[in-house]
Chains A and B, each alone.
Chain A
Amino acid sequence: MALILTEEQQLIRESAKGFLADKAPIGELRRLRDTKDEVGFSRELWQDMTEMGWAGIVVPEEYGGLGYGYVGAGLILEEMGRTLTASPLFSTAILSVTALARLGNERQKNDLLPAIASGRLIVALAIDESAHHNPADIALEAHRKNGGYVLNGNKSFVIDGHVADKLIVPARTSGRRGQPSGLTFFVIDAGTTNVAIRRSIMVDSRNAARVEFANVAIGAEQVLGPPDQAFDDLEYVLDVGRICLAAEMLGIAQEVFEQTVQYLRERKQFGVPIGSFQALQHRAATLFCDIELCKSVVLKALQGIDEKSTLLPALASLAKAKTGETTRVAVNEAIQMHGGMGMTDEFNMGFFIKRAEVARQTFGDPNFHADRLARLNGY
């Protein structure tokens, strides 16, 4: 596949740009934060997004979705990076749909996918258990009892955990912590007895939660996919998530970079635009180059999902590492080059660096992924 966008994909991007500028510009995130909105996103906005088809963007058509593919989804996320729009798109329409479409049996797919596509269901994926992302280290226990399972343990940093109707949870059904084998996925109602969900207020004003499981009893029919063997599928879902986060970070990087270059052209000190200073010109130019590289890797990785590439794990780590690192530089340079103004809460740049850092760390930071890529390459 050539590394260019088709006309249809360009249209998706244009329409996303227009929609978000109209319904969810960056002022919206500020409003949600300042009013301490309990949901953390606008349910009205989610309805509007659903009408655009976004809730079902990668839901297969036979389950009521658009089946547009991940390049399309990635382009929407990129635009949402530019406006820092809060919504359950990532948790529900991307991560959970990906897990369900890949692993669900017919009953599960019929029960859940159409409901997601029509905006009626929010589903969160609960993966991490500590401050450092390490899926093989899952310790949440699920042992067999009375034909079902009993869960004990915690999940943290669960995106949209406190507003989810259902949770998709990988837990350990056999083997030892640190081993990739022995994991099983479960689909659990958020309201199940003994499930305690507590919202975490995060630096980026976006949704996260801690979930505690204290002797949570569930049925065997709540198993998602083959028991004890969830790791490879978990990595696949995470890789899709990592690539989509890279797409969002690319949107952030481009947005802050463009604003910064504009500022360099306009801001005058010592009687001249500060953009005429060569030191700033060179820093802007090198950052430009790295952002161009990120565009290439994000597109290649998104295409890799659609093409079912065997290189997907490597592409995901490539995209997450390169874009994570470049976006970090971009937001830091954006603040620095805006001077004192960049440090004020009144200015929007603060929101960008905060979101960039959360996205950078989610599902593995650049160090995690550089290490993973080295392992995949045999060293």
Chain B
Amino acid sequence: MVAGLEDFGHEVRQWLAENCPQSMRKPIEDDSDIYWGGRQASFKSDDQRDWFERMAARGWTVPAWSKEYGGGGLGKEEAKVLQQEMRRIKARTPLQSFGIWMLGPALLRYGNEAQKKEHLTKIARGEIRWCQGYSEPNAGSDLASLQTRAEDKGDHFLVNGSKIWTSYADKSDWIFCLVRTDPKAPKHNGISFVLFDLASAGVSTKPIKLISGYSPFCEIFFENVQVPKENLVGEINLGWGIAKFLLTHEREMIGGLGIAQAGSKKLSAIAIEEIGLEHGRLRHSNLRTQLAWQDIDAWSFLLTMERAKDESESRQGIGAVSSLLKYYGTELEKRRHELLMSIMGMEALGWEGEEFDDGEIARSWLRSKGRSIEGGTSEIQLNIIAKRILGLPS
């Protein structure tokens, strides 16, 4: 390590030791442990508040963003060191935010100076919570066919329509939204990317309950919502480019997530506990075989995530790897939950009450069915692989 970087590492380690509360060094157990920020936010504990405020003061909620936007101004190597040091003590992310993961990168690349100044610092400080308005009831896989209309009224746009599958819309403050600004142009060329306050007149939300129970998803309705012109990001009718940039970004997140979590407790360990061994082999031979193949595919996939990362750092490798990771990772995740149902047997069929842990296993199994649908369905990912990597014709 370069001398300056080593010193930085020591400084970070010291600072974390002094400033990261012990209770923030444990893995997140449920939704309430996550701090999302925003106008409606409240802290679960003093520790959670302290941890967030201390990190935000250093700009370390967004370490690699420039200081003028509320970030830590760290270089790539320094940001890695910070991440490593946090991982070392298992420190939680102090602020989870679609503003950080999605809108921020989009603004940094496509926004103008005024927008960056107005929004980025508030994201970094957790003052404003953002949600994403993309899909509509009639625009899912075919997102570009979206119909939410933004009419040009001179000094503002007038927005009418609705969005669906918007996570946490009912808890968010602002929305980044794809709207149709030119209904006469070919569908990809009439879309714009706008931002607006959900407190505006004409906005209402409705939560969506899933087969697994509670979900953060909502429908959101716009009736004559006025959006100031300065809230248009990038050029008018060129919003699809921004959307594509963010979709690939989102895809990579979803693919790696499920399997990374799956590493926490091995299916085989659970199986040994629940089903038992006979002469050193799992009692149910067919389930044993299925488990072995799950282990083979999961390990192969983990190595592939590692290889993709190593290759991107050294500039080798295939394009559109995010589609492979998203497709394979989510299908593996579904298989894992199917196996877990068989392993736990009828205990997994409980739905309510402490004896069944409030139906946690069944609910996770049901929720996992959505993973091959959200963020671009498996079928869409295969289309992308076929067309963009394999060059197969339309």
Interface residues of A (CB under 8 A from B): 2-5, 261, 264-265, 272-273, 275-276, 278, 280-282, 284-286, 288-289, 292-297, 299-300, 318, 321-322, 367, 370-371, 373-375, 377-379
Contact = CB atoms under 8 A, between A and B. Distances in A.
Contacts of B385: 285, 288-289
Interface of B: 266, 268, 271-272, 277, 280-282, 288-289, 291-293, 295-297, 299-301, 303-304, 306-307, 310-311, 313-314, 316, 318, 324, 327-328, 379, 381-383, 385-387, 389-394
Q: Which of A264, A318, A373, A379 has the most CB of B within 10 A?
A: A379
Given A296-B300, A370-B296, A4 B268 contact: no
Given A265-B391, A276-B394, A299-B307, A371 B297 contact: no
A284 B387 CA distance: 11
A310 to B, nearest CB: 16
12 contacts: A3-B310, A261-B390, A264-B392, A275-B393, A285-B382, A288-B324, A289-B385, A292-B318, A293-B301, A296-B303, A375-B281, A379-B271
A4 B392 contact: no
A282 to B, nearest CB: 5
Contacts of B379: 282
Contacts of A286: 382
B382 to A, nearest CB: 4
Given A322-B300, A379-B268, A370 B293 contact: yes
B297 A4 contact: no
B296 A321 contact: yes
Given A4-B314, A273-B393, A371 B292 contact: yes
A297 B300 contact: yes
The 3 closest A-B pairs by CB, nearest first: A281-B386, A3-B307, A296-B303
Given A322-B297, A374-B295, A265 B382 contact: no
A367 B292 CA distance: 10
A275 B282 contact: no
A370 B390 contact: no
Q: Which of A280, A296, A322 has the most CB of B within 10 A?
A: A296
Contact of A289 (B281, B282, B327): B327
Nearest to A300: B303
A313 to B, nearest CB: 14
Contacts of A371: 289, 292
B304 to A, nearest CB: 4
Contacts of B393: 265, 272-273, 275-276
Given A281-B392, A284-B392, A379 B300 contact: no
Given A4-B311, A370-B292, A378-B272, A293 B386 contact: no
Given A285-B382, A371-B289, A377-B268, 9 more contacts: A289-B328, A293-B300, A295-B304, A318-B299, A373-B296, A374-B288, A375-B280, A379-B268, A379-B291
Contacts of A374: 268, 281-282, 288-289, 291-292, 295
Contacts of B277: 379
Contacts of A264: 392
A296 B307 contact: yes
A273 to B, nearest CB: 5
Nearest to A257: B390
A3 B303 contact: yes
Contacts of B390: 261, 281, 284-285, 288
Contacts of A299: 307
Given A3-B306, A264-B392, A281 B296 contact: no
A292 B302 CA distance: 12
A332 B299 CA distance: 25
A318 B295 CA distance: 9
A295 B318 CA distance: 12
A170 B162 CA distance: 73
Nearest to B394: A276
A296 B307 CA distance: 7
Contacts of B327: 285, 289
